[in-house]
Amino acid sequence: MLKLSHVSVRFGQRQAVDDVSFTIENGEILALLGPSGSGKSTLLRVIAGLTPSEGQVVLAGRDITTVPTHRRGVGLMFQDHALFPHLDVGGNVAFGLSGAGKQERVDELLELVGLAGAAKRKINTLSGGEQQRVALARALAPEPKLLMLDEPLGQLDRQLRDRLVIELRELFKRLGTTVLAVTHDHDEAFALADRAAIMSRGKLLQSGTADQLKAAPVDEFVADFLGATASVRRWPQ
């Protein structure tokens, strides 16, 4: 579904993304996992519309490296979900929709995210978790080929995150959505995704399932970051 080949992004002297290649299969959920500043969001922006310094982005067989954002067929959901406060819930979800059947589609999407009947509610009367669901319904509305989430649950408390992440995974699997999710939290990455790709300093170090990564980390950084082999690798006290 998505193929990145040798993508690099430079901001002046700074190399934010350094020769990154990976693929996501149709219906797969991949987590981009790495510490703050490792280049995750920049990589997402390359797929969403930022032209890279080098490399190629192919979505569903089409080279989209220089295609404008609105014609790429990708959906985005960010940490500060940026809902429109002057529109009600239904208005927010309908924002990217056009044509007949809009109302039915909004109702269907709200039901999907567990907010049936909330179309007329005001954004400022919703809890953080509910707002997150509205943002998700809005991102899913135009049926994107690829859905990208950037630290989608970052502002919610741990308990709610743990619950939402399971719900999200179930929903995406039911819909067959292809997803790229950015997070710095490995528990969240592995609860949500089929596979994780570990990033550090702009480079993609390794990708695989939780078991694969923990069993055979390519280097000390991956091992430490996953906390997998801390007891083995530390010098005896």
- Helix 102-112 and helix 128-140, axial crossing angle in degrees, nearest 10: 130
3-state DSSP call for residue 103?
A: helix
Contact 191, 200 (CB under 8 A): no
Q: Binder to ligand ADP among 4, 7, 33, 34 (CB under 6 A)? A: 34
Q: Give the span between the Cα atoms of 102 and 128, in whole angstroms.
A: 25
Q: Binder to ligand ADP among 6, 14, 62, 233 (CB under 6 A)? A: 14
Smallest gap, in angstroms, from Cβ of residue 184 to ligand ADP? 7
User: Whose Cβ is closer to ligand ADP: residue 107's or residue 187's?
Assistant: 187
* Helical segments of the chain, H only: 40-48, 89-94, 102-112, 128-140, 158-175, 186-192, 210-215, 220-226, 230-233
Q: Cα Rg for the chain, rounded, in angstroms?
A: 19
Q: Give the span between the Cα atoms of 194 and 108, in whole angstroms.
A: 27
Q: Tell me which of Mg ion, ligand ADP, none is bound by residue 7, counting a contact when its beta carbon lies within the kind-specific cut-off of 5 to 8 angstroms.
A: none
Smallest gap, in angstroms, from Cβ of residue 34 to ligand ADP? 6
Answer yes or no whether residue 11 interacts with ligand ADP by CB under 6 A.
yes
Smallest gap, in angstroms, from Cβ of residue 134 to Mg ion? 22
Q: Binder to Mg ion among 18, 20, 29, 41 (CB under 5 A)? A: 41
Smallest gap, in angstroms, from Cβ of residue 129 to ligand ADP? 23
Total chain residues near ligand ADP (CB under 6 A): 11
Subset of 41-70 contacting ligand ADP (CB under 6 A):
41-42
User: Whose Cβ is closer to Mg ion: residue 41's or residue 132's?
Assistant: 41
Q: Binder to ligand ADP among 40, 133, 145, 186 (CB under 6 A)? A: 40
User: Whose Cβ is closer to ligand ADP: residue 17's or residue 135's?
Assistant: 17
Q: Tell me which of ligand ADP, Mg ion, none is bound by residue 105, counting a contact when its beta carbon lies within the kind-specific cut-off of 5 to 8 angstroms.
A: none
Q: Give the span between the Cα atoms of 46 and 113, in whole angstroms.
A: 28
Contact 75, 136 (CB under 8 A): no
The secondary structure of residue 236, as a DSSP letter, is: P
- What are the residues binding ligand ADP (CB under 6 A)? 11, 14, 16, 34, 36-42
